[in-house]
Amino acid sequence: MNSGLETHPLSHPGGPVHGPHAEALALGAPEAVRLGLFWNWPERPGVPPGTLDATGEEQRALIDRWKVTSRDSWVQVTDAAIRGLRVKGEPGEMALDVRDEVLENSGAAYLGLEEWLPAVSAHSERNGHTDEHTDLLLRSAVKVYHAEQALAEGGLLPPGQRVVTMFAYDLAHATYLTQAGMRVGYSDPQTAQQMLGALAHNAGSVFDSWASFGASYVLGCSVIEGGYPTDDVYRRAAEAVRSLLSSPQSPWTNIPLPRAA
């Protein structure tokens, strides 16, 4: 697995580099960079050609992190990520939804914390949330705010723009899981192709550029996995996305984001 120091995407010479299949696989490029895997091929770097297997570390991660212990559980977990069900229940995603609702109703283009936090509190009161849940939503809104500030300062979020969803976090992980399923013997080319088709459709329905997809991914990593306000989790995700958006060898600089069918 990648130590976190290498941020350049690895491309397999036998894998697709253009076309719809490559575009869908490129959704998992941030995770491929993080883990030191090929973005466009399920084989691991350094193994004899034609070898399709998982390391013991990856097998343990699939069990411990993803609760994948069988083909059925792999299908269930991967499908949930393809549909964005993992981030949907995250407090940070709920806070983003509240902000979008306020902006849509008001017609404003920006919502500061001084307006956002009262809106979150009002949302929680209307929905009968406990004090504990309300506090979690408020802290998540603050976390999102600071992570977005870091994205803007780092050039990963254009001035005046905001992240509307962390869906890219799920899509990137779903693409990884699709590839991992091949390595552990839970998937087959037909199943993988169907999943990649669904991934491409969902990504193209929400995002309009690799930049917006990348910002969503980094925000998801920071808010869901990282500390406050930003830390090494944010830094590693941001470095991976920055490399993908700028490297001449990156799929993101050579092929377009998938479009919804």
Chain segment 85-118, per-residue pLDDT in tens: 999 999 999 999 999 999 999 888 888 899 999 9
What pLDDT shows up at residue 136?
93
Residue with tokens 């087959």: 188
Q: Name the phi and psi angles at 43, rounded to 5.
A: -65, 150
Give the per-residue pLDDT at 150. 93
For residue 190, what pLDDT is reported? 94
Q: How many CA atoms lie within 13 A of 70 on its CB side?
A: 2
Give just the sign of the alpha carbon dihedral 179, 183, 189, 195: negative
pLDDT value of position 7: 67
- Is residue 2 scored above 70 in pLDDT? no
Give the CA distances from residue 190 to residues 70, 113, 129, 182, 194, in Å, rounded to whole numbers and listed in that order: 18, 47, 43, 11, 6
- Rounded-to-integer distance, Cα 259 and Cα 93, Å: 23
**Bond from prior residue into 258 cis (ω within 30 degrees of 0):** no
Average pLDDT over residues 198-226: 95
CA dist 126 and 119 (Å) reads 11
Distances (CA, A) of 246 to 3, 67, 96, 113, 160: 21, 35, 28, 32, 22
For tokens 């989790």, what's the residue? 233
Question: Regarding predicted confidence, which is higher, 253 or 52?
Answer: 253
pLDDT tens for each residue of 189-201: 999 999 999 999 9
